[in-house]
Amino acid sequence: MLNQVLEKPYGNSVFQYRKKDISMPANLWYAGWELQTSSAYRWNGNTRNDGDNTFIFQYTTKGEGKIRVNETTYSLFPGDAFLVDVPSDHEYWLPDESSEWEFMFITLVGESTKMCWEAFTEKRGPVLKIPYSSRVIQLLHQINQEAANKEIKDAYMASSRAYEFVMALHRFGQGYTEDTDSMPESLQQAITHIHQNLGLPLHLEELADVAGLSKFYFIQLFQSHLQTTPMQYVTKKRIEQAMARLSNSTIPVQEISRQSGFDTPNYFSKVFRRYTGESPSSFRERTRHRKFTNVFLD
Protein backbone atom coordinates (compact mmCIF):
# COMPACT_ATOMS: atom_id res chain seq x y z
CA MET A 1 0.00 0.00 0.00
CA LEU A 2 1.20 3.49 -0.79
CA ASN A 3 0.58 6.35 1.62
CA GLN A 4 1.19 9.86 0.29
CA VAL A 5 0.85 12.71 2.75
CA LEU A 6 0.73 16.31 1.62
CA GLU A 7 1.47 19.47 3.58
CA LYS A 8 0.02 20.11 7.04
CA PRO A 9 -2.41 21.18 8.42
CA TYR A 10 -4.21 20.71 5.10
CA GLY A 11 -3.57 17.81 2.79
CA ASN A 12 -4.83 14.41 1.83
CA SER A 13 -3.73 10.81 1.67
CA VAL A 14 -4.40 8.21 -0.99
CA PHE A 15 -4.36 4.48 -0.28
CA GLN A 16 -3.53 2.15 -3.18
CA TYR A 17 -4.06 -1.58 -2.70
CA ARG A 18 -3.08 -4.73 -4.48
CA LYS A 19 -6.09 -6.29 -6.16
CA LYS A 20 -6.52 -9.02 -3.54
CA ASP A 21 -6.88 -6.44 -0.75
CA ILE A 22 -9.85 -4.60 -2.27
CA SER A 23 -12.34 -7.30 -1.28
CA MET A 24 -12.11 -6.51 2.45
CA PRO A 25 -15.45 -5.60 4.12
CA ALA A 26 -14.36 -1.96 4.46
CA ASN A 27 -11.24 -0.08 3.49
CA LEU A 28 -9.86 3.42 3.09
CA TRP A 29 -9.50 4.97 -0.34
CA TYR A 30 -8.82 8.63 0.47
CA ALA A 31 -8.71 10.77 3.60
CA GLY A 32 -7.98 14.45 3.98
CA TRP A 33 -8.51 17.84 5.54
CA GLU A 34 -8.76 20.63 2.96
CA LEU A 35 -9.37 24.35 2.69
CA GLN A 36 -10.93 25.39 -0.61
CA THR A 37 -11.05 29.07 -1.61
CA SER A 38 -11.68 28.87 -5.36
CA SER A 39 -15.14 28.69 -6.90
CA ALA A 40 -13.59 26.28 -9.42
CA TYR A 41 -13.80 23.59 -6.73
CA ARG A 42 -16.60 21.26 -7.83
CA TRP A 43 -17.21 17.50 -7.87
CA ASN A 44 -19.91 15.70 -9.83
CA GLY A 45 -20.91 12.21 -8.71
CA ASN A 46 -21.64 11.00 -12.24
CA THR A 47 -18.43 12.17 -13.90
CA ARG A 48 -15.66 11.68 -11.29
CA ASN A 49 -13.35 8.73 -11.89
CA ASP A 50 -13.08 7.20 -8.41
CA GLY A 51 -14.61 3.97 -9.66
CA ASP A 52 -17.89 2.28 -8.82
CA ASN A 53 -19.07 1.59 -5.29
CA THR A 54 -17.00 4.18 -3.47
CA PHE A 55 -18.54 6.09 -0.59
CA ILE A 56 -17.74 9.64 0.55
CA PHE A 57 -18.24 11.21 3.98
CA GLN A 58 -17.40 14.92 4.21
CA TYR A 59 -17.64 17.13 7.30
CA THR A 60 -17.55 20.94 7.26
CA THR A 61 -15.34 22.57 9.89
CA LYS A 62 -15.33 26.20 8.66
CA GLY A 63 -16.92 28.34 6.00
CA GLU A 64 -19.75 27.24 3.73
CA GLY A 65 -20.21 24.77 0.90
CA LYS A 66 -23.17 23.46 -1.07
CA ILE A 67 -24.28 20.05 -2.24
CA ARG A 68 -27.05 18.95 -4.56
CA VAL A 69 -28.37 15.41 -4.10
CA ASN A 70 -30.83 14.53 -6.82
CA GLU A 71 -33.23 17.51 -6.91
CA THR A 72 -32.44 18.95 -3.47
CA THR A 73 -29.69 21.50 -2.73
CA TYR A 74 -28.28 21.89 0.79
CA SER A 75 -26.08 24.58 2.32
CA LEU A 76 -23.24 23.12 4.41
CA PHE A 77 -22.06 24.98 7.50
CA PRO A 78 -19.70 23.96 10.33
CA GLY A 79 -21.00 20.76 11.89
CA ASP A 80 -22.79 19.60 8.72
CA ALA A 81 -21.85 16.27 7.14
CA PHE A 82 -22.91 14.63 3.92
CA LEU A 83 -22.80 11.03 2.71
CA VAL A 84 -22.85 10.16 -0.98
CA ASP A 85 -21.84 7.21 -3.12
CA VAL A 86 -20.12 7.19 -6.52
CA PRO A 87 -21.54 7.07 -9.08
CA SER A 88 -24.78 8.85 -8.17
CA ASP A 89 -26.66 12.03 -8.97
CA HIS A 90 -24.96 14.54 -6.71
CA GLU A 91 -22.66 17.54 -7.02
CA TYR A 92 -20.89 19.63 -4.39
CA TRP A 93 -18.99 22.91 -4.71
CA LEU A 94 -17.77 26.14 -3.12
CA PRO A 95 -20.55 28.67 -3.80
CA ASP A 96 -19.78 32.17 -5.06
CA GLU A 97 -21.11 33.74 -1.86
CA SER A 98 -18.62 31.79 0.30
CA SER A 99 -14.98 32.86 0.61
CA GLU A 100 -13.82 29.50 1.97
CA TRP A 101 -14.85 25.95 2.73
CA GLU A 102 -12.82 23.88 5.18
CA PHE A 103 -13.68 20.22 5.63
CA MET A 104 -12.45 16.77 6.58
CA PHE A 105 -13.36 13.84 4.38
CA ILE A 106 -12.95 10.11 3.98
CA THR A 107 -13.63 7.89 0.98
CA LEU A 108 -14.32 4.22 1.67
CA VAL A 109 -14.94 1.00 -0.25
CA GLY A 110 -16.30 -2.41 0.71
CA GLU A 111 -19.55 -4.30 1.23
CA SER A 112 -19.88 -3.28 4.89
CA THR A 113 -19.49 0.34 3.87
CA LYS A 114 -22.18 -0.07 1.23
CA MET A 115 -24.67 -1.60 3.68
CA CYS A 116 -23.97 1.14 6.27
CA TRP A 117 -24.37 3.93 3.70
CA GLU A 118 -27.67 2.55 2.46
CA ALA A 119 -29.08 2.06 5.98
CA PHE A 120 -27.82 5.44 7.20
CA THR A 121 -29.08 7.55 4.30
CA GLU A 122 -32.43 5.78 4.29
CA LYS A 123 -32.95 6.67 7.94
CA ARG A 124 -31.15 10.01 8.30
CA GLY A 125 -30.86 11.36 4.76
CA PRO A 126 -27.73 12.44 2.86
CA VAL A 127 -27.03 15.59 4.95
CA LEU A 128 -27.13 15.98 8.72
CA LYS A 129 -25.52 17.82 11.61
CA ILE A 130 -23.03 15.88 13.74
CA PRO A 131 -21.33 17.37 16.83
CA TYR A 132 -17.59 17.85 16.48
CA SER A 133 -17.15 16.08 19.82
CA SER A 134 -18.94 12.93 18.60
CA ARG A 135 -17.11 9.63 18.20
CA VAL A 136 -17.68 9.73 14.44
CA ILE A 137 -15.89 13.04 13.94
CA GLN A 138 -13.16 12.29 16.47
CA LEU A 139 -12.41 9.08 14.53
CA LEU A 140 -12.35 11.03 11.27
CA HIS A 141 -9.85 13.42 12.81
CA GLN A 142 -7.79 10.53 14.20
CA ILE A 143 -7.64 8.71 10.85
CA ASN A 144 -6.38 11.86 9.14
CA GLN A 145 -3.82 12.39 11.87
CA GLU A 146 -2.58 8.81 11.63
CA ALA A 147 -2.36 9.05 7.84
CA ALA A 148 -0.37 12.28 8.12
CA ASN A 149 1.98 10.60 10.59
CA LYS A 150 2.38 7.59 8.24
CA GLU A 151 1.05 5.26 10.91
CA ILE A 152 -1.40 3.39 8.64
CA LYS A 153 1.20 1.08 7.21
CA ASP A 154 -0.73 -1.61 5.33
CA ALA A 155 -4.12 -2.60 3.96
CA TYR A 156 -5.05 -4.45 7.14
CA MET A 157 -4.52 -1.44 9.39
CA ALA A 158 -6.42 0.69 6.88
CA SER A 159 -9.29 -1.82 6.84
CA SER A 160 -9.42 -1.86 10.64
CA ARG A 161 -9.69 1.93 10.75
CA ALA A 162 -12.29 1.98 7.96
CA TYR A 163 -14.46 -0.63 9.67
CA GLU A 164 -14.22 1.21 12.99
CA PHE A 165 -15.39 4.40 11.30
CA VAL A 166 -18.23 2.61 9.50
CA MET A 167 -19.46 1.06 12.75
CA ALA A 168 -19.25 4.39 14.60
CA LEU A 169 -21.28 5.99 11.83
CA HIS A 170 -23.79 3.13 11.83
CA ARG A 171 -24.12 3.38 15.62
CA PHE A 172 -24.72 7.13 15.34
CA GLY A 173 -27.30 6.56 12.61
CA GLN A 174 -29.18 4.12 14.83
CA GLY A 175 -29.45 6.72 17.58
CA TYR A 176 -26.74 5.45 19.94
CA THR A 177 -25.07 8.75 20.75
CA GLU A 178 -22.54 10.04 23.24
CA ASP A 179 -23.52 12.12 26.23
CA THR A 180 -22.35 15.28 24.48
CA ASP A 181 -24.83 14.65 21.66
CA SER A 182 -27.73 15.21 24.07
CA MET A 183 -26.43 18.64 25.07
CA PRO A 184 -28.22 21.81 24.01
CA GLU A 185 -27.03 23.02 20.62
CA SER A 186 -25.66 26.18 22.26
CA LEU A 187 -23.23 24.07 24.31
CA GLN A 188 -22.30 21.91 21.32
CA GLN A 189 -21.41 25.07 19.41
CA ALA A 190 -19.19 26.28 22.25
CA ILE A 191 -17.46 22.89 22.56
CA THR A 192 -16.88 22.74 18.80
CA HIS A 193 -15.37 26.23 18.97
CA ILE A 194 -13.07 25.12 21.79
CA HIS A 195 -11.86 22.01 19.95
CA GLN A 196 -11.16 23.96 16.76
CA ASN A 197 -9.29 26.80 18.47
CA LEU A 198 -7.22 25.26 21.25
CA GLY A 199 -4.07 26.95 19.96
CA LEU A 200 -5.63 30.42 20.12
CA PRO A 201 -6.55 32.62 23.10
CA LEU A 202 -9.95 31.56 24.42
CA HIS A 203 -11.89 33.66 26.91
CA LEU A 204 -15.06 32.97 28.85
CA GLU A 205 -16.88 35.93 27.31
CA GLU A 206 -16.03 34.67 23.82
CA LEU A 207 -17.36 31.17 24.55
CA ALA A 208 -20.57 32.55 26.02
CA ASP A 209 -21.03 34.67 22.88
CA VAL A 210 -20.51 31.61 20.65
CA ALA A 211 -23.19 29.82 22.68
CA GLY A 212 -25.47 32.84 22.49
CA LEU A 213 -25.90 32.88 26.27
CA SER A 214 -25.13 35.21 29.13
CA LYS A 215 -21.85 34.46 30.85
CA PHE A 216 -23.57 33.47 34.10
CA TYR A 217 -26.07 31.11 32.46
CA PHE A 218 -23.38 29.65 30.16
CA ILE A 219 -21.24 28.66 33.16
CA GLN A 220 -24.23 27.10 34.93
CA LEU A 221 -25.32 25.14 31.85
CA PHE A 222 -21.77 24.00 31.06
CA GLN A 223 -21.18 22.72 34.60
CA SER A 224 -24.52 20.91 34.73
CA HIS A 225 -23.64 18.89 31.60
CA LEU A 226 -19.87 18.42 31.91
CA GLN A 227 -19.27 18.69 35.67
CA THR A 228 -16.46 21.21 35.13
CA THR A 229 -16.15 24.89 34.31
CA PRO A 230 -15.64 26.07 30.71
CA MET A 231 -12.08 27.24 31.30
CA GLN A 232 -11.14 24.08 33.18
CA TYR A 233 -12.42 22.14 30.18
CA VAL A 234 -10.31 24.29 27.84
CA THR A 235 -7.18 23.66 29.90
CA LYS A 236 -7.81 19.92 30.05
CA LYS A 237 -8.28 19.68 26.27
CA ARG A 238 -5.12 21.72 25.70
CA ILE A 239 -3.13 19.36 27.90
CA GLU A 240 -4.61 16.32 26.10
CA GLN A 241 -3.62 17.83 22.75
CA ALA A 242 -0.12 18.59 24.04
CA MET A 243 0.28 15.03 25.35
CA ALA A 244 -0.63 13.58 21.95
CA ARG A 245 1.86 15.88 20.20
CA LEU A 246 4.62 15.15 22.69
CA SER A 247 4.12 11.43 22.11
CA ASN A 248 3.74 11.67 18.33
CA SER A 249 6.32 14.19 17.19
CA THR A 250 9.76 15.69 17.70
CA ILE A 251 8.35 19.23 17.83
CA PRO A 252 10.18 21.20 20.56
CA VAL A 253 8.33 21.50 23.86
CA GLN A 254 8.34 25.28 23.53
CA GLU A 255 6.53 25.08 20.18
CA ILE A 256 4.00 22.52 21.48
CA SER A 257 3.34 24.91 24.35
CA ARG A 258 2.53 27.68 21.86
CA GLN A 259 0.44 25.39 19.63
CA SER A 260 -1.59 24.32 22.65
CA GLY A 261 -2.53 27.86 23.61
CA PHE A 262 -0.24 28.52 26.55
CA ASP A 263 1.32 31.97 27.00
CA THR A 264 4.75 30.77 28.10
CA PRO A 265 6.62 27.43 28.24
CA ASN A 266 7.07 27.83 31.99
CA TYR A 267 3.34 28.16 32.58
CA PHE A 268 2.71 25.22 30.23
CA SER A 269 5.13 23.03 32.21
CA LYS A 270 3.52 24.04 35.49
CA VAL A 271 -0.01 23.20 34.29
CA PHE A 272 1.18 20.01 32.57
CA ARG A 273 2.77 18.76 35.80
CA ARG A 274 -0.39 19.60 37.75
CA TYR A 275 -2.52 17.47 35.41
CA THR A 276 -0.12 14.57 34.80
CA GLY A 277 2.31 14.52 37.70
CA GLU A 278 5.35 14.83 35.44
CA SER A 279 7.10 17.32 33.17
CA PRO A 280 6.45 17.50 29.40
CA SER A 281 9.96 16.20 28.69
CA SER A 282 9.54 13.28 31.07
CA PHE A 283 6.18 12.35 29.52
CA ARG A 284 7.71 12.49 26.02
CA GLU A 285 10.56 10.21 26.99
CA ARG A 286 8.23 7.73 28.68
CA THR A 287 5.74 7.52 25.79
CA ARG A 288 7.85 8.16 22.68
CA HIS A 289 7.59 4.52 21.55
CA ARG A 290 3.80 4.39 21.98
CA LYS A 291 2.79 7.33 19.79
CA PHE A 292 -0.64 8.15 21.20
CA THR A 293 -2.93 9.84 18.68
CA ASN A 294 -5.59 10.66 21.25
CA VAL A 295 -5.22 11.23 24.99
CA PHE A 296 -8.08 11.41 27.49
CA LEU A 297 -7.46 12.80 30.95
CA ASP A 298 -9.69 11.74 33.83
| pLDDT confidence of residue 58 | 98
| CA angle 101–261–210, rounded 5-degree value | 50
pLDDT > 70: what percent of the chain?
88
- Evaluate if residue 108 carries a pLDDT over 70: yes
Given strand 127-129, what is the order of strands in its sheet? 2-3, 11-16, 27-36, 101-109, 54-63, 80-86, 127-129
Q: What is the mean pLDDT of residues 37-65?
A: 91
| pLDDT confidence of residue 259 | 92
Class of domain 183-287: mainly alpha
Side-chain-side CA neighbours of residue 189 (13 Å) = 14
pLDDT, tens only, 60-100: 999 999 999 999 999 999 999 999 999 999 999 999 999 99
| pLDDT confidence of residue 289 | 66
Contacts of residue 297, defined as CB under 8 A and 6 or more positions apart, other chains included, come to 236, 239, 240, 243, 275, 276
Label each residue of 143-209 as H, E or C.
HHHHHHCCCCCCHHHHHHHHHHHHHHHHHHHCCCCCHHHHCCHHHHHHHHHHHHCCCCCCCHHHHHH
| pLDDT confidence of residue 293 | 52
Domain ranges in the chain with CATH number 1.10.10.60: 183-287
Q: Is it true that the peptide bond before 252 is cis, omega within 30 degrees of 0?
A: no
Q: What is the mean pLDDT of residues 245-259?
A: 89
What's the predicted TM-score (pTM) here?
0.62
Q: CATH topology for 2-173? A: Jelly Rolls (2.60.120)
* Measured distance CA(186)–CA(207) in Å, rounded: 10
Q: Is it true that the peptide bond before 25 is cis, omega within 30 degrees of 0?
A: no
How far apart, in Å, are the Cα atoms of 253 and each of 245, 268, 283?
9, 9, 11
pLDDT, tens only, 129-180: 888 878 899 899 889 888 887 888 888 889 999 999 999 998 888 776 555 5
At 122 the three-state DSSP class reads helix
| pLDDT confidence of residue 291 | 57
Decide: 134 and 172 in contact? Cβ < 8 Å.
yes
pLDDT, tens only, 19-32: 545 567 889 989 99
| pLDDT confidence of residue 6 | 35
Q: What is the mean pLDDT of residues 263-275?
A: 94
- Evaluate if residue 53 carries a pLDDT over 90: no
| pLDDT confidence of residue 1 | 38
pLDDT, tens only, 196-247: 899 999 999 999 999 999 999 999 888 877 778 999 999 999 998 898 888 8
Decide: 217 and 228 in contact? Cβ < 8 Å.
no
Domain ranges in the chain with CATH number 2.60.120.280: 2-173
Antiparallel, parallel or unpaired: β 54-63 and 101-109: antiparallel
Label each residue of 33-53 as H, E or C.
EEEECCCCCEEECCCCCCCCC
| pLDDT confidence of residue 268 | 95
Buried b (16+ CB within 10 A) or exposed e, 186-219: bbbbbbbbbbeebeeebeeeebbebbebeeeebb
Question: In whole numbers, what is the pLDDT of the chain averaged over residues?
Answer: 86
